[in-house]
Amino acid sequence: MQPYERKQLLERVEREGATVGAEIPETIEVQGEEIDLRTFVFEIKRRETVPAGERDRVEQAKRNLRRERLERVERIEEGDIDREEGEELARSVIGIDRALNALESLGPTDLEREQQATEAADRKRWMSFLKKALGQDDDASARRGR
């Protein structure tokens, strides 16, 4: 493969919006293991949130996909490959990016923790409001010299 061809492929996989219109690969080999990537992503995406039991599996899948993406990009950059293999690698990298985008865009994974954080923030705002309304605002007291 010519250096300019490598450069073109690398620019293509790093281009903003490269995943627009791209499909998630049906299957992909990640670290020697064949994964039904499209099925996995659609199975996870059809739920509103990731169930507690699935969180670790999804996070591990994302880590593995990122690692596999990096390895494939490095093969395009430095590997002894021909143009056809480079094209296939570029398509697979874009497909991995598409899968990662889908997995990253999932809703909150822990609704209970999010609800507790929201309630804590609401309590804090309410207490701040009450302190100001009752004239117990620490900042205002300090400014008045008390």
Per-residue pLDDT tens, the chain, 146 aa: give them: 888 998 999 999 888 888 887 888 898 888 788 888 888 888 888 876 776 777 788 888 889 999 999 999 999 998 889 999 999 999 999 999 999 988 887 755 555 666 777 888 888 888 888 888 888 865 555 555 54
Cα atoms in the Cβ-side hemisphere of radius 13 Å centred on 21: 3
* pTM of the model as a whole: 0.67
Phi, psi (5° rounding) for residue 24?
-75, 130
Cα–Cα nearest to 37, from 56, 74, 64: 64
CA angle 34, 40, 43 (to 5 degrees): 160
| Cβ 73 vs Cβ 93: under 8 Å | yes
What is the rounded CA–CA span in Å between residue 81 and residue 15? 21
At residue 92, the pLDDT reads: 92
Which residues pair with residue 30 across a beta bridge?
33
